[in-house]
């Protein structure tokens, strides 16, 4: 048994599969498709493109295995894996596509590759080839005539795989011929001269609430939110896909529901291109000229002939995807303005544990410096450390010589915070408990609840530094015996309950619809950005 | 003249006006020889007067010198202008500060329409070397984090030792070192106390950077020894971003501002190329102080010996400058200051403190270009001449300030005259002094640097190069007729920027996507 298996595994001859009907048929389809059908426009390019992928993935692994003189099933499998990996890399990475193209050009067969992730649908063809052709490779060696036929098939296959296509009808392509695009939104140079088109996607660290910013993308999606630029020269009449094209790799993004690009074209005003996911279907667009029939997702660039005037954009089709950036206007003011970060809750590395308080000093900026340590029996403070706690309170309720416990408050990214609780065990002193919480909400604290509701009449505003899109909120705090009050950011309210007093201050509260987490302060997620500090004081026992 | 005309036209074509400065004033003709004959040539303009905030664009220069591409955050108009000495009429107004409003009128090269500039300049007859200063209550917060090891800590020690030479027994000095936390190394000792020398010599680098703790401790020490008879100030020296403790930039600025409003000023000095220039600049601007960058040993000497001497000598406090423009013009914008606001035809500039800029002439660059004093530039748009209120007048500048020695409020005012009607554009232009034209070129270069830095920051290297190449050509052409040390040095940095862009791949034209090729895609 062992010797049979060993014999079979060493008997593989990939060249024997070169005369298998499946391989020969695939090669015939590849040649016919690349050299006749693609140029004849008899079938949509999406069909001819995918057809080449399917049959190519049957043809190529056999050739690779034959060239490498593979002799084992493992080698055959690895040939399949290598072809699959290379094919996937080309579709997924512009760099890989470029390197492959360069490598083929170096051996005299330049390829222009249109990356299309949907081409990966052809990968199962590898499995078909693996199972269907393995048997042929294991057949015994036959005569010299077959050997000659195998070599001929290998030669034809290699040439056909390297030189994938020829010009249609055998005629050279005209100088301005461009391959068709498979894209959704694209730009078309409607001017008489070449223009440089600069395109910037959103930064990888930016998240956007598509529904919110759809209200006015040109005004709300501002320069700080956009990432690395790529520039291209677009010749007259040429089309170019914004999101799907052969030139660039769309950055990974957490944004779902829409696509956003900043467009900067010589002689035209800056613009933002924004469209909802799926609103413009993927479709075939000619490399040059206008679409036949109803156009979809086209933006025509119309540079001005007058050097002192800016050109214009025209929509091709009914898709309103382009939003010219309006002239700078005065930022929103008053209660609707984005809030400053200067009043946010902040603390230095929390000294979690129980500490004796040596001193508390409120600085000119309202931040408390707590000198903490461990009081020894002789009254000396050892292990001293200074801890800063910035919260918009006039007092922490903690004085020197008291003992406190400092703890962290967390809830799985929903909020984080700090808790300070008096721990003297002395009923003649008021009991103090302070929570400083920042995040998307505030947990119930001695019956106190906090709710923040967007101020809908405010609309969305843009914070200048990081481009954060915000909307003001109204905050309500209370519950149980405390009653309920409304607070604005920076406001403090004392609520008297049955057993103690609760001082509530809203340090920061707004709703965010676009955010660069690498730049903006506060939570890294869209939605509520709430920072509240609550100080509960239970009076000393009589 | 023609060369400069071409310069302006090209700059306009580049979109500098529309995208960066929104002004049409980038064209000039050159009759500076006539203007010089009018009495300003070679005159002893006295020392310039500098606002607080950035005093140089040293970090920007250092990054270019290192072969890299500076980001826009490393460039600041106030700092850039402060490395330019603008010649002004003599400081013979009889006050400690002389205010000048100089007019420049030239053709707008976009559409040939008129462009009118008013340069607001100040100088002083006071020689800083002879000016007594109030004794100091000074706390120096020194970054001793691990990143300071090597040159930075050496520069720092050298700078502080140089500074000791200018301190006296009446000065009260505290030294605070900060890394993971802060330590008061010496507290309120006299300027000639050997303990201070020993403390400086013992500075060692290690740990992280707790700027909040170091700066707040310095303020608390100054506050504890505050004396109205002394200058109560803090100097912060750091080479990095905050990496421990409270690190929020807005919180740091808020804390510092709160102490500033209690009367404690702040100046900042940055070292290396990794510090946060916006934080250091913001802190200094709010603190009525200056921000310097130490790029090399020569800068240590320049900053600590020449500049520190002058920035510790406030010339004026609570300065209010008001520019009222005649109704024959519209005030469009004011450049060269962070403190300007405009309402209609009135511009208001509020400057917490003015210091003496140490350079007394354009050629005075032995220790470097810092201390030029710069200038502020207002751009006006001419309106219908029939709306002119006062013939022969463009507007009036008034200035009030508090004398730091006596707290007495002083006032001065100058009228900006013109022989022209609004909209008149003489073929050769009109300049009331040489400085207006230089300030125009300076503004162009700043705009070019800023635009190139912004473009390169998001990967548009070719676009950045496209701004700088024609700028270099035309600044070079301007210098043929107008030799100037500051502008020549600017030009060398424009060329370095271009070289660095080329080294990073900017000299490749953008390619056409989907190029025509006889080999269709799969």
Contacts of A287 in chain B (CB under 8 A): 514
Distance CA B414, CA B408 (A): 20
pLDDT score at B114: 64
What pLDDT, in 10s, does the model give residues A215-266? 999 999 999 999 988 888 899 999 999 887 766 666 667 788 999 999 999 8
Q: Does A243 touch chain B (CB under 8 A)?
A: no
Tokens representing A401?
Answer: 């010589």
In chain A, positions 11-40, which contact chain B (CB-CB < 8 Å)?
A: 38-39
Say if CB B142 and CB B203 are below 8 A apart.
Answer: yes
pLDDT score at B304: 77
The sign one gets for the Cα dihedral A285, A291, A293, A298 is positive
> Which positions ≥6 away from B161 have C-beta within 8 Å?
B197, B200
pLDDT score at B359: 67
> Which positions ≥6 away from B342 have C-beta within 8 Å?
B331, B333, B334, B348
Looking at B70-187, list the stretches that DSSP marks H as alpha helix, in order from N- to C-terminal side.
77-82, 151-164
- At which residue do the structure tokens 């072969």 appear? B67
What pLDDT, in 10s, does the model give residues B487-509? 999 999 999 999 999 999 888 77
pLDDT score at B7: 35
Is 90 exceeded by the pLDDT of residue B396?
yes
Distance CA B51, CA B328 (A): 30
Contacts of A519 in chain B (CB under 8 A): none
The ipTM of this complex is 0.78
pLDDT score at B15: 36
Residue of B nearest to A224 (CA): B458
**Is A176 close to B516, i.e. CB distance below 8 A?**
yes
pLDDT band at A468 (very low <50, low <70, confident <90, very high): very high
Q: Does B73 touch chain A (CB under 8 A)?
A: no
What pLDDT, in 10s, does the model give residues A490-536? 889 999 998 899 999 999 999 999 999 999 998 889 999 999 999 99
Residue of A nearest to B251 (CA): A342
What kind and span of H or E run contains A415? Answer: strand A415-422
Is 60 exceeded by the pLDDT of residue B301?
yes
Q: Does B178 touch chain A (CB under 8 A)?
A: no
Distance CA B297, CA B313 (A): 24
Say if CB B178 and CB B184 are below 8 A apart.
Answer: no
Is 70 exceeded by the pLDDT of residue B24?
no
User: Which of these, A343, A339, A341, A322, lies nearest to A265 by C-alpha position?
Assistant: A322
pLDDT score at A94: 62
Is 60 exceeded by the pLDDT of residue B3?
no
Q: How far is the alpha carbon of B364 from chain A, nearest alpha carbon, in Å?
A: 38
Distance CA A115, CA A94 (A): 7
Residue of A nearest to B254 (CA): A342
Distance CA B468, CA B471 (A): 5
Phi, psi for residue A503 in degrees, rounded to 5: -100, 125
User: Which of these, A364, A398, A500, B210, lies nearest to A406 by C-alpha position?
Assistant: A398
Of A11-15, A113-117, A342-346, A404-408, give the lowest mean pLDDT range.
A113-117
In chain B, positions 493-522, which contact chain A (CB-CB < 8 Å)?
A: 509-522
What pLDDT, in 10s, does the model give residues B65-111? 999 999 999 998 888 988 888 888 888 888 888 999 999 887 644 34
Nearest residue, CB atoms, B246 vs list A52, A112, A388: A388
Tell me whether residue B111 is exposed, middle or buried, using C-beta atoms within 10 angstroms of its C-beta: 0 to 12, 13 to 18, 19 or more: exposed
In chain B, positions 374-433, which contact chain A (CB-CB < 8 Å)?
A: none
pLDDT band at A172 (very low <50, low <70, confident <90, very high): very low
Q: Does B255 touch chain A (CB under 8 A)?
A: yes
**Is A234 close to B513, i.e. CB distance below 8 A?**
yes
- Global pTM value: 0.75
What pLDDT, in 10s, does the model give residues A433-450? 999 999 999 999 999 999
Q: What is the mean pLDDT of chain A?
A: 84
Q: On the CB side of A72, how many CA atoms lie within 13 Å of its CA?
A: 5
In chain B, positions 441-500, which contact chain A (CB-CB < 8 Å)?
A: 458-460, 462-463
Give the bridge partners for A301, in sequence order: A189, A313
**Is A348 close to B251, i.e. CB distance below 8 A?**
no
Distance CA B69, CA B66 (A): 9
What is the 3-state composition of chain B as percent helix, strand, coil, each rounded to the nearest 5?
A: 35, 25, 40
Nearest residue, CB atoms, B513 vs list A49, A247, A342: A247
In chain A, positions 295-314, which contact chain B (CB-CB < 8 Å)?
A: 307-308
Substitution target from A162, A265, A360, A365 for chain B, most B beta carbons within 10 A: A365
Q: Does B333 touch chain A (CB under 8 A)?
A: no
Say if CB A468 and CB A207 are below 8 A apart.
Answer: no
Give the bridge partners for B49, in sequence order: B356
Which carries the bigger pLDDT value, residue A34 or residue B328?
A: B328
In chain A, positions 41-60, which contact chain B (CB-CB < 8 Å)?
A: 49, 52-53, 56
pLDDT score at B12: 34
What pLDDT, in 10s, does the model give residues A270-319? 999 999 988 999 998 998 999 988 899 999 999 888 766 788 999 998 88
Residue A215 CB neighbours (<10 A) = 12
Q: Does A249 touch chain B (CB under 8 A)?
A: no
**Is A349 close to B244, i.e. CB distance below 8 A?**
yes
Of A210-219, B27-36, B51-60, B135-144, give the lowest mean pLDDT range.
B27-36
pLDDT score at A538: 93
């Amino acid at each position: 048994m062992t010797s049979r298996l060993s014999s079979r595994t060493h008997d593989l001859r990939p060249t024997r599969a070169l005369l298998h009907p499946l391989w020969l048929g695939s090669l015939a389809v590849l040649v016919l498709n690349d050299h006749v059908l693609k140029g004849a426009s008899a079938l949509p390019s999406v069909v001819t493109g995918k057809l080449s992928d399917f049959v190519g993935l049957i043809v190529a692994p056999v050739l690779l295995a034959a060239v490498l003189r593979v002799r084992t099933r493992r080698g055959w499998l690895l040939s399949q894996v290598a072809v699959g990996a290379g094919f996937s890399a080309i579709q997924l990475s512009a760099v890989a596509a470029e390197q492959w193209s360069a490598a083929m050009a170096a051996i005299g067969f330049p390829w222009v590759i249109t990356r299309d992730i949907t081409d990966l649908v052809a990968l199962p063809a590898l499995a078909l080839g693996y199972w269907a052709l393995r048997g042929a490779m294991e057949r015994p060696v036959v005569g010299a005539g077959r050997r000659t036929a195998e070599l001929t098939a290998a030669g034809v296959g290699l040439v056909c795989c390297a030189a994938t296509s020829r010009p249609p009808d055998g005629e050279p392509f005209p100088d301005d011929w461009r391959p068709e695009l498979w894209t959704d939104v694209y730009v078309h140079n409607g001017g008489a001269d070449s223009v440089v088109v600069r395109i910037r996607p959103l930064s990888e660290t930016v998240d956007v609430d598509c529904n919110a910013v759809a209200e006015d993308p040109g005004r709300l999606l501002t320069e700080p939110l956009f990432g690395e630029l790529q520039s291209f020269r677009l010749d007259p009449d040429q089309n170019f896909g914004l999101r799907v094209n052969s030139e660039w790799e769309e950055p990974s993004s957490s944004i779902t529901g829409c696509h956003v690009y900043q467009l900067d074209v010589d002689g035209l005003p800056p613009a933002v291109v924004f469209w909802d996911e799926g609103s413009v279907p993927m479709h075939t667009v000619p490399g040059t000229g206008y679409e036949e029939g109803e156009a979809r997702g086209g933006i025509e660039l119309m540079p001005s002939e007058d050097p002192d005037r800016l050109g214009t954009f025209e929509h091709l089709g009914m898709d309103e995807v382009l939003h010219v950036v309006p002239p700078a206007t005065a930022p929103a003011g008053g209660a609707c303005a984005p809030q400053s970060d200067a009043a946010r809750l902040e603390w230095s590395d929390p000294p979690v544990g129980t500490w004796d308080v040596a001193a508390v000093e409120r600085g000119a900026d309202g931040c408390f410096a707590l000198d903490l340590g461990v009081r020894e029996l002789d009254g000396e403070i050892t292990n001293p450390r200074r801890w800063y706690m910035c919260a918009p309170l006039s007092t922490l309720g903690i004085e020197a010589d008291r003992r406190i416990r400092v703890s962290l408050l967390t809830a799985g990214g929903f909020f984080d915070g700090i808790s300070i609780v008096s721990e003297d065990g002395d009923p003649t002193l008021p009991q103090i408990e302070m929570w400083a919480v920042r995040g998307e909400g505030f947990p119930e604290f001695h019956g106190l609840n906090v709710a923040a509701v967007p101020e809908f009449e405010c609309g969305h505003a843009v914070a200048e530094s990081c481009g954060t899109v915000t909307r003001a909120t109204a905050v309500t705090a209370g519950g149980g015996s405390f009653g309920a009050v409304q607070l604005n950011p920076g406001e403090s309210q004392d609520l008297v309950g049955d057993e103690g007093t609760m001082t509530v201050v809203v340090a920061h509260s707004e709703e965010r619809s676009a955010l660069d987490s690498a730049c903006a302060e506060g939570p890294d997620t869209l939605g509520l950005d709430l920072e509240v500090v609550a100080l509960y004081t239970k009076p000393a026992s009589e | 003249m023609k060369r400069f005309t071409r310069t302006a036209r090209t700059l306009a074509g580049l979109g500098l006006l529309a995208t960066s400065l929104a002004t049409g004033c980038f064209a000039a003709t050159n009759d500076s020889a006539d203007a010089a004959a009018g009495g300003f040539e070679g005159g002893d303009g006295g020392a310039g007067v500098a606002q607080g905030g950035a005093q140089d664009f040293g970090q920007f220069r250092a990054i270019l010198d290192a072969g890299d591409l500076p980001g826009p955050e490393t460039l600041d108009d106030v700092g850039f202008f402060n490395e330019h000495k603008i010649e002004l009429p003599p400081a013979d107004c009889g006050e400690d500060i002389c205010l000048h409003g100089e007019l420049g009128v030239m053709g707008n090269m976009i559409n040939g329409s008129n462009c009118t500039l008013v340069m607001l300049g100040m100088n002083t007859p006071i020689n800083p070397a002879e000016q007594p200063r109030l004794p100091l209550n000074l706390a120096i917060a020194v970054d001793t984090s691990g990143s300071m090891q090597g040159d930075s800590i050496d520069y720092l020690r050298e700078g502080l030792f140089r500074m000791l030479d200018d301190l006296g027994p009446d000065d009260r000095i505290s030294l605070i070192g900060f890394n993971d936390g802060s330590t008061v190394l010496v507290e309120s000792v006299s300027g000639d106390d050997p303990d201070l020398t020993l403390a400086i010599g013992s500075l060692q680098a290690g740990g992280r950077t707790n700027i909040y703790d170091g700066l707040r401790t310095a303020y608390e020490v100054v506050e504890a020894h505050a004396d109205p008879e002394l200058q109560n100030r803090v100097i912060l020296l750091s080479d990095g971003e905050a990496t421990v403790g409270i690190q929020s930039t807005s919180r740091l600025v808020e804390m510092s501002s709160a102490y500033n409003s209690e009367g404690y000023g702040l100046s900042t000095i940055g070292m290396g190329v990794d510090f946060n220039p916006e934080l250091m600049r913001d802190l200094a601007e709010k603190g009525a102080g200056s921000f310097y960058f130490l790029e090399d040993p020569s800068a240590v000497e320049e900053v600590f010996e020449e500049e520190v001497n002058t920035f510790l000598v406030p010339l004026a406090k609570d300065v209010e400058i008001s520019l009222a423009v005649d109704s024959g013009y519209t005030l469009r914008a004011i450049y060269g200051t962070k403190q300007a606001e405009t309402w209609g035809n009135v511009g208001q500039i509020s400057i917490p403190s003015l210091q003496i800029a140490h350079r007394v002439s354009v050629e005075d660059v032995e220790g470097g270009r810092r201390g030029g004093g710069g200038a502020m530039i207002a751009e006006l748009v001419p309106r219908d001449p029939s709306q002119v209120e006062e013939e022969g007048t463009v507007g009036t500048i008034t200035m009030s300030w508090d004398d730091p020695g006596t707290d007495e409020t002083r006032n001065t005012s100058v009228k900006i005259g013109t022989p022209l009607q609004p909209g008149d554009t003489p073929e050769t232009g009109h300049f009331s002094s040489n400085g207006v034209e230089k300030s125009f070129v300076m503004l162009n270069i700043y705009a070019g640097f800023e635009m190139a830095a912004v473009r390169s920051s998001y990967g548009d290297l070719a676009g950045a190069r496209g701004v700088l190449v024609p700028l270099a050509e035309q600044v070079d052409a301007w210098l043929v007729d107008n030799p100037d040390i500051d502008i020549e040095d600017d030009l060398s940095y424009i060329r370095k920027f271009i070289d660095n862009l080329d080294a990073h791949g900017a000299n490749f034209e953008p390619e056409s996507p989907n190029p025509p090729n006889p080999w269709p895609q799969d």
